[in-house]
């Protein structure tokens, strides 16, 4: 699966955003190590704290299907927003060591990086192996 296919899936997912408060439309397409594709959008909540980002929706969909290793993640917003800190922490739980993160915007600009560059010194399950 190439980046264009992931981008298209992320854009498509962003159209399903439930964001009556921020009006932001975020889409995430996630490729797992076995080649499965999962997509998610942001889902807001009147409590605000109950809001969940597109990245976490996609990750939870994958994990609930027992697809635990994230290989490539594409996040799309018109503005090219990067994943928030909470999403980065959730990514660190399931990230393959070579997880590639792509941030795309409406103009087609893409920022491509390894997860380790997006979140250096992340707290991972390895820290709890005593
Ligand atoms: Zn987030």
Instruction: Calculate how far, in angstroms, residue 42's C-alpha sits from the geometric centre of ligand 1.
Output: 8
Q: How far apart are the C-alpha atoms of 39 and 56, rounded to whole Å? A: 10
The pLDDT mean for the chain works out to 96
Torsion of CA 44, 46, 50, 51, to 10 degrees: 20
**Number of folded domains in the chain?**
1
Catalytic: 55? yes
Residue listed under structure tokens 């980002």:
53
Domain residue limits at 57: 3-128
pLDDT band at 130 (very low <50, low <70, confident <90, very high): confident
C-alpha 1 to ligand 1 mean position (Å): 24
3-state secondary structure of 129: coil
- Which helix (DSSP H) or strand (DSSP E) does residue 124 occupy? none
Please state the pTM of the whole predicted model: 0.96
CB neighbours of residue 47 within 10 Å: 7
Can you give the CATH number for the domain in which 55 is found?
3.40.140.10
Q: What is the pLDDT of residues 74-106, one digit of tens each?
A: 999 999 999 999 999 999 999 977 999 999 999
């Amino acid at each position: 699966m190439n980046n264009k296919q992931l981008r298209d899936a992320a854009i498509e997912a962003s159209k399903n955003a439930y964001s009556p408060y921020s009006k932001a439309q975020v889409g995430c397409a996630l490729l797992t190590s076995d080649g499965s594709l999962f997509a998610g959008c942001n889902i807001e909540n009147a409590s605000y704290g109950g809001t969940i980002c597109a990245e976490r929706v996609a990750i939870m969909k994958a994990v609930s299907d027992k697809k635990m290793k994230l290989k490539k993640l594409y996040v799309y917003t018109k503005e090219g927003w990067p994943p928030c800190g909470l999403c980065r922490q959730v990514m660190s739980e399931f990230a393959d060591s070579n997880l590639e993160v792509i941030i795309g915007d409406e103009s087609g600009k893409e920022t491509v990086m390894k997860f380790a560059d997006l979140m250096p010194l992340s707290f991972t399950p390895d820290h709890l192996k005593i």
